[in-house]
Amino acid sequence: NNKDMGCTLKSLKVRVSVIGLSAEVRVCTVLTRETGGSYHVILDESHFKELLMLHVKPPPASFSAECSLIRMGFPQHTVACMRDQDVKPSFSMSHLDSVSTPALTLGGYFCPQCHAKYTELPVECKVCGLTLVSAPHLARSFHHLFPLHPFIDSTAEDYKENSFCQACQRQLQDKNVFTCPSCHSVFCIECDLFIHESLHCCPCCIRGRTAT
């Protein structure tokens, strides 16, 4: 029953929004209106992309929503080799759910609380239950609150001494380059788009903070 479903969603404080690919549907109109969402019908492909991007940024939460803290750990990736006397091969906790045969490996991500090893992030520690993430993962989740500042657009002639992109390490061949206002690292246009649209944080700034 559509009416019962709308009442249930409203009681659970679930906001429903719909992007229609064809003509307007009465059921969707009522459902979005009752739950406080939005309903739009696309005109063309570009309009669909525009409407879809409107839903990427989360809507403001209601004042009645309660806040809760989540404990997270930020392990650094450790690279080791057999020449290091203090390093010993060990199993990764990620292999517990893997079908493949576990193998001894060097280095990885070590939980800052229990020192369990993992090969990739994000993951929930199977030993202590701590959520392990990296700085870029966290930046993607709240980048709409603290957006990355636009990089400074300048000509490549001003950076003849530093003619390589700090992200992809390719030689800067375009006329324009982009400089981070915080760490003054130089990036090409492709990496500038990737940093602002996907990564949402300057990789050189993160590397500098990790080193210190």
Give pLDDT tens digits for 161-205: 778 899 998 888 888 899 999 998 999 999 999 999 888 889 888
Residue 11 is inside which H or E element, if any? helix 2-11
CATH superfamily of 152-209: Zinc/RING finger domain, C3HC4 (zinc finger) (3.30.40.10)
Closest CA to 8 of 37, 28, 33, 35: 35
Report the predicted TM-score, pTM, of the whole model to 2 decimal places.
0.47
Closest CA to 202 of 162, 123, 146: 146
Q: Is 107 helix (H, G, I), strand (E, B) or coil?
A: coil
What per-residue confidence (pLDDT) applies to 29?
Answer: 92
**What percentage of the chain exceeds 90 in pLDDT?**
32
* Domain ranges across the chain: 1-56, 72-134, 152-209
Phi, psi of 66 (to 5 degrees): -90, 145
pLDDT at residue 20 tops 90: yes
Quickly count: other Cβ atoms within 10 Å of residue 50's Cβ: 13
